[in-house]
Amino acid sequence: MIRLAEAKARAIAPVHPESLIIGSDQVAVANDEILTKPGNHNNARAQLRKISHQSVNFLTGLCVINTASNRIQKDWINYTVHFRDLTEDEIERYLLMETPYDCAGSFKSEGYGISLVQRFEGEDPTSLIGLPLIRLSEMLRNEHQDIP
């Protein structure tokens, strides 16, 4: 995920000289299995069945490239979601309301997905939406001392 975050930032860096470029990428891991973006309803249902009553690690890679100085900062953030025991009806209702087919692990914490959770564990809950703002703020402060 760090490699992909950096690749995303590097892809647009050449057309933005004198800029700070941010790249981010996320993967979900449950029971040593990577949960990709499901792409459709059936795959999402299968993923949610798998993670029912399980803990899932959402690993988010982050990269900031300063095109003026060629400085690159990279890091990754882990945030764990402990899911409740989900019924088939709950899974189906969630998928019909949220359609999280483009989300790692079929989970969208900023929407109805919160109803699937037993508890969260980690330092930066914003990493769940794919952009860890606490760590990003640190990286931006490293580039500009005038940022609060």
Closest CA to 43 of 51, 32, 53: 51
HSE-up of residue 15 (Cα within 13 Å, Cβ side):
4
In the three-class reduction of DSSP (H, G, I as helix; E, B as strand; rest coil), residue 101 is classed as coil
Q: Which of 25, 32, 85, 124 is catalytic?
A: 25
Three-state SS for 24?
Answer: strand
Q: What is the DSSP letter of 90?
A: H
Structure tokens at 127: 């990493």
Residue tagged 């606490």 (tokens): 134
Cα 47–49–53 angle (5° rounding)?
A: 110
Looking up tokens 């990269």 gives 63
State yes or no: is 25 an active-site residue.
yes
Active centre residues (catalytic)? 25
